[in-house]
Amino acid sequence: MSARILDGKALAGRIEDSIRAEAASFSRVAGRPPRLVVVLVGDVAASASYVKSKAAAAARVGIDAEVVRVPASADTQTLVELVRALAREEQGSVDGILVQLPLPAHVDTQAVLDSVPADRDVDGFHPENAGLLSQGRPRFVPCTAAGVQRMLVDAGIATAGREAVIIGRSDIVGKPLALLLSGRGEGGDATVTLCHSRSDDLAAICRRADILVAAVGKPGLVTAGMVKPGAAVVDVGINRVADATASGGSRLVGDVDFAGVSAVAGWISPVPGGVGPLTVAMLLANTLLAAELRLGRRA
Ligand code: NDP
């Protein structure tokens, strides 16, 4: 068997097309485009590259994105005050505020994230938004989790009644995705198992999965022997590994052994070109939602 590809890049392009039309409609009514501010602390190359692709995607759909760069030496209080000032800026024309993670080790990440007001929280990390998601009435859903669910729905992969296994229990990916897949309705109603580093016999649990999602950050963690034949395998992981044949001597891979698992799975998402572009697309969707909620165009 050779798995069909879950082409996140193509789907993200289609999502961008619909957001572009809605952003134009918003701009006509509001007299300004939706506005996103991204706070980038320090000069970690991977973070700078993610921020660049988020800003480029925003520009493609008519969302005004500004990147505020802050030196790595900034302390927690400085960052909290910066975020609060952004939320007050220009009579509140900033619709979405995103603090790019990870923050330097000396910063209290939770305190900085908590300072993003719930109604500008386009990353979906605020306790109020996490609470709404857990109660089954989502508002801003963490972008990667939302992107994975959208990918499954778009491909017509049934979730209702199926076994979904997620490896990784982070607040930004695994946990919200478990809530989405086990919630009621389209893209939900699955029986979800959430695995982590303390799970016993991970391979046996994974082999039960009709839908297997890897969100760990360990290249090659998921091998063919852990996959039920015909399963949908979604690879969230992003890992840079050495590769003498690639430009720069390195390349990006996920958590899944792509070649081996492709021979067993029914569907597989590639890295790059899978979940990554959808994460960005869902950020654009959340920014538009934030703008429309503030304008009273959506309830
Ligand atoms: P975290 O480091 O926050 O969480 C990793 C999770 O994996 C933890 O729950 C950890 O368990 C678990 N884990 C670690 N080792 C094992 C193991 N051997 N077996 C089973 N579980 C294990 O990572 P994130 O959720 O932030 O990110 C996960 C991956 O996804 C990373 O590669 C990241 O780069 C990528 N990512 C990709 C995005 C995209 O857009 N494509 C967006 C966000 C992240 P425990 O809790 O017990 O420590």
Pocket test for ligand 1, best of 6, 100, 196, 213 (most atoms within 8 A of CB): 196
As a 3-state breakdown, the chain gives helix, strand, coil percent values, each rounded to 5, of 45, 15, 40
- Taking the centre of ligand 1 as the mean of its atom positions, its distance from the CA of residue 221, in whole angstroms, is 11
Indicate which residue of 64, 119, 121, 123 is catalytic: 123
List, for the chain, all residue ranges whose pLDDT scores fall below the cut of 70. Answer: 1, 90-92
Q: What is the pLDDT of residue 1?
A: 61
| Residue range(s) in the chain whose domain bears CATH number 3.40.50.10860 | 33-118
Q: Do you find a cis peptide bond into 219, omega within 30 degrees of 0?
A: no
Ligand 1 centroid to residue 278 C-alpha, Å: 17
In the residue annotation, 54 being an active-site residue is answered as yes
- Fold for the domain defined by 33-118: Rossmann fold (3.40.50)
Burial of 70 (0-12, 13-18, 19+ CB in 10 A): middle
Residue 228 a catalytic site member: no
Pick the catalytic residue: 95, 100, 119, 228?
Answer: 100
pLDDT of residue 104: 97
Residue 100 annotated among the catalytic residues of the structure: yes
Q: Quick one: which atom of ligand 1 is closest to the CA of 271?
A: 41
Q: Which residues make up the CATH 3.40.50.720 domain(s) of the chain?
A: 143-276
Q: What per-residue confidence (pLDDT) applies to 173?
A: 98
User: Judging by beta carbons within 10 Å of its beta carbon (0-12, 13-18, 19+), is residue 220 exposed, middle or buried?
Assistant: middle
Say how far apart CA 133 and CA 131 lie, in whole Å.
Answer: 5
- How far, in Å, is the centroid of ligand 1 from the Cα of 26? 36
Cis peptide before 176 (omega within 30 of 0): no
| Concatenated DSSP letters of 127-150 | HHHHHHHHTT--SS--HHHHHHHH
Question: Model's pTM, two decimal places?
Answer: 0.97
Does the 143-276 domain belong in CATH 3.40.50.720?
yes
Distance, CA 197 to ligand 1 centroid (Å)?
10
